[in-house]
Structure 1
Amino acid sequence: MDAVDPVVVESAAVLGRHLRQGRDRRLAVLEWFAEAGMPVRPGAVPVPEPAICAVRRALVWVLERSVSQRLVELARSAVGAGEEGQDALYAAAGRVLRAYRGAANPALVRAALEAGEDVPVDAEGDFRSMVHLVAAVGLGGQEVGSDALAEAFAAFGMFGLTVDDWAQMLGAAERGEGPPVDWGQLQQHADLVGQVQRAGEEELVRARTVMIGLRGFYGLYMLHGLLLPDTPALAALRQRIDEWSMFPVLDHVISINPSPRQFAESLAVCLEPPFDKLYEVLMEQLATNPDIFSIPGDDTGPVGFGETWIRTLREQTKATSGEFGQAGTAGEAFA
């Protein structure tokens, strides 16, 4: 036993945690890759990295079967298919996007809870209009039109711009009065499979770091709506996200407890530079003020922070007669 490489032993252990009868090994590889990127607890043995070639194969296998990729392929197949093909594309994309309901803005949820009012359930953006963005991937922006795309970009929450803001910019580009739009970039970035295939080993590992980091920041932003004590450090992190108008985008692409399939899609998205840059901005802010769980004037630190949160939740439960699970409560708002 002394001659056995510890890396081999730990690799066998991590496979044992994620493999089970009847499960595709590629899903276990993705869970292994995700676990290897998590922070190591004091005294724990670091999880060795799986072979990156196996990770890439698993990512591609999952992404090729994802709803996102199927929509991209359907959009491409609509090119030259006439009105019938375009109608089929819009119908299929509409069915997928209609099922998505984003989270209500945590600040609005918190304000409603503190005021004893019903919390908002639906997100502000209408993601059904994003069907136009899917169509643009295959048909091109010129075919879809600037007005429809303005609705799609505004629904996605990009840069905090309104429908009118987008309509003015896209309309000016369409008329040749402003900088041209390279719709080929949209088509390229929508192809998650291609992005993973082109990415190097360091890029995939970096995307994992970005995704795991943004998952934590997104979780803190969401918990603000569930009455998490609002320290200056937490408020500063939310402000950075708001400055980038990225909450709706993070809400769309980040999962708190992702399945291997969700992990694959989120990691592919986090290969994009804007997510890497946002992660860097938030990490810099965290380094500037790391006391996210310290309430000013309370020298008990994280312990007092946790006790304050629990007490607040109990008081809120009493104020609502213990009906936290009823329609219109915070839990439903974040479903």
Structure 2
Amino acid sequence: MARGAPSPADQQVVRELAARGVVVTPSRLESWRRAGLLSRHRRRGLGRGQGSVVEAVDPVVVETAAALARHLRQGRNRRLAVLDWFAEAGMPVLPGAAVVPEPPAGAVREALVWVLEGSVSQRLLEVARGAAGAGEEGQDALYAVAGRMLAARPHRRPVHPAVMRAALLAGEDPPDEPGSGGVVHLFAALGLGPQEVGAEALAEGFAAVGMFDLTAGEWAQMLGAAERGEAPPVPWELLGEVDSVEQVLGASDEELVRARTVLIGLRPFYAMYMLHGLFMPDTPGLAALRARIDERGLGPVLDQVISISPTPQQFAEGLVACLGGMLDELYEALMTQLATDSHVFRIPGDEHGAAGFMNTWTHTLHEQANGGTGFGDGA
């Protein structure tokens, strides 16, 4: 084979992908190898001094190249492609479909850190740490910078699906939950210390992120009781979880994969939870799943973390939120509940199962769109 000429194995990979309508070149395969994203074909030794040959085209190389071709488009940053590839590798495999190989763990970690370092939350954290020890001037500067950064990404608490459902059934507009920039207080606490920020401001911050679905007043009461020694001390070390970069660097490869499992696994549960507000027929199974979320007060947190079709940036931030802790525990509780009653889309008394469920929902949506009221509490 001429020096620099593509190997027969790579030529075979190019042909196999071309048969799927995927266009790659041998030189592109080599560039992916140089970047550490594509492995070489397995080789078999011919004996001492005889060299080696490729036994067969490695299916993993073919599927890896196919994944890279899907995500690493011309001019796109390689790290974003790696995150999309990592997300795809965690999706359920459809019958007859090929398994998407995992990207190199080191490339995934590098991509996560790179994306998170550019996030608003990480930049806010850096500003907060820079304000430490700078007195009132530093605190004022922190809040001024944070205000400008958060203005581009205003946060609004989601309307609870049961409240949304009741309002729409009554022919009323859903309540407009006020926005809040209170989240900046949590970042300020990391830089300036919780005592400098104060219980009232921190209460607003916890309420702004929807922590346990408590109001600012309820948080203020709890924090005040802790300050007076009337309740257990507040575990301020939990604020350290705001540093998403440190979390990724401290997580093992297995923990990152587990976080992906939790993040992707929570999506359908979040959809079922929120669609209750848009006239999805209710069933005992769906009600039980919603109860698992509501009893933990994690509906607002899911609303911030879960995106049905996330960008790589949203995926990275959601992944960090699912690194252990309360969302991992919620996922396990929901999976256990689903195993207990898997007939979530079966309306009691309707023998048509999921088909009857969808017909009922379609009919209800049609009725509501036409100003009807053909919708009962049991539907």
Task: Say whether the fold is shared (TM-score over 0.5).
Answer: yes
2:174 corresponds in structure 1 to 119
Find the residue that maps to 2:182 and give its secondary structure: helix
Find the residue that maps to 2:111 and give its secondary structure: helix
**Displacement, 1:90?**
1.2
Residues of 1 paired with 2:189 and 2:209: CA distance?
15
Q: How many residue pairs were aligned?
A: 317
Identity of aligned residues (%): 66
1:289 corresponds in structure 2 to 341
**Displacement, 1:255?**
1.4
Alignment pair present for 1:253 and 2:305? yes
Which of the residues 217, 220, 240 maps onto 2:269?
Answer: 217
Which of the residues 157, 164, 168 maps onto 1:109?
Answer: 164
- Residues 125-159 of structure 1, C-alpha deviations (whole Å, 9 max, x = no match): x4322221121121110000112112222333322
Asked if the contact 1:29–1:50 (Cα under 8 Å) also holds between the matched residues in 2, the reply is yes
**Displacement, 1:48?**
1.0
Which of the residues 152, 157, 174 maps onto 2:210?
Answer: 157
Find the residue that maps to 2:183 and give its secondary structure: helix
Residues of 2 paired with 1:161 and 1:100: CA distance?
16
**Displacement, 1:123?**
2.8
2:98 corresponds in structure 1 to 45
Which of the residues 290, 308, 315 maps onto 2:360?
Answer: 308
Residues of 1 paired with 2:61 and 2:72: CA distance?
16
Which of the residues 64, 70, 73 maps onto 1:11?
Answer: 64
Once the two structures are overlaid, the 10-residue window that deviates more, 79-88 or 284-293, is 79-88
Residues of 2 paired with 1:168 and 1:100: CA distance?
23
Residues of 1 paired with 2:132 and 2:230: CA distance?
27
Once the two structures are overlaid, the 10-residue window that deviates more, 226-235 or 162-171, is 162-171
Asked if the contact 1:97–1:127 (Cα under 8 Å) also holds between the matched residues in 2, the reply is no
**Displacement, 1:233?**
0.6
Residues of 2 paired with 1:115 and 1:168: CA distance?
34
**Displacement, 1:258?**
0.7
Residues of 2 paired with 1:179 and 1:281: CA distance?
26
Mapping 1:1-335, distance limit 5 Å: 1=12, 3-98=56-151, 99-120=154-175, 122-123=176-177, 126-186=179-239, 188-319=240-371
Q: Which has the higher contact order (CA 8 A, sep 6+)?
A: 1
Name the amino acid aligned to 2:158: A
Residues of 2 paired with 1:103 and 1:161: CA distance?
13
**Displacement, 1:46?**
1.2
Name the amino acid aligned to 2:124: L
- Structure 1 residues 3 and 19: alpha-carbon distance in aligned structure 2, compared to 1, 3 A threshold: same
Instruction: Give structure 1 stretches of 5+ with no counterpart.
Output: 321-335
Find the residue that maps to 1:319 and give its secondary structure: coil
Residues of 2 paired with 1:177 and 1:309: CA distance?
49
Instruction: Give structure 2 stretches of 5+ with no counterpart.
Output: 1-11, 13-54, 373-379
Find the residue that maps to 1:42 and give its secondary structure: coil
Runs (4+) off by over 6 Å: none
* Larger CA Rg, structure 1 vs 2: 2
Residues of 2 paired with 1:104 and 1:25: CA distance?
37
CA RMSD of aligned residues (A): 1.8
Residues of 2 paired with 1:42 and 1:96: CA distance?
45
- Structure 1 residues 164 and 101: alpha-carbon distance in aligned structure 2, compared to 1, 3 A threshold: closer
TM-score, normalised by the number of residues in structure 2: 0.79
- Residues 85-126 of structure 1, C-alpha deviations (whole Å, 9 max, x = no match): 211211232344451223222111111222222223x336x4
Once the two structures are overlaid, the 10-residue window that deviates more, 165-174 or 298-307, is 165-174
Residues of 2 paired with 1:4 and 1:256: CA distance?
36
**Displacement, 1:182?**
4.0
**Displacement, 1:232?**
1.1
Once the two structures are overlaid, the 10-residue window that deviates more, 164-173 or 228-237, is 164-173
Residues of 2 paired with 1:236 and 1:262: CA distance?
28
**Displacement, 1:177?**
4.8
Asked if the contact 1:97–1:130 (Cα under 8 Å) also holds between the matched residues in 2, the reply is no
Asked if the contact 2:213–2:300 (Cα under 8 Å) also holds between the matched residues in 1, the reply is no
TM-score, normalised by the number of residues in structure 1: 0.89
Asked if the contact 1:150–1:167 (Cα under 8 Å) also holds between the matched residues in 2, the reply is yes
Asked if the contact 1:77–1:138 (Cα under 8 Å) also holds between the matched residues in 2, the reply is yes
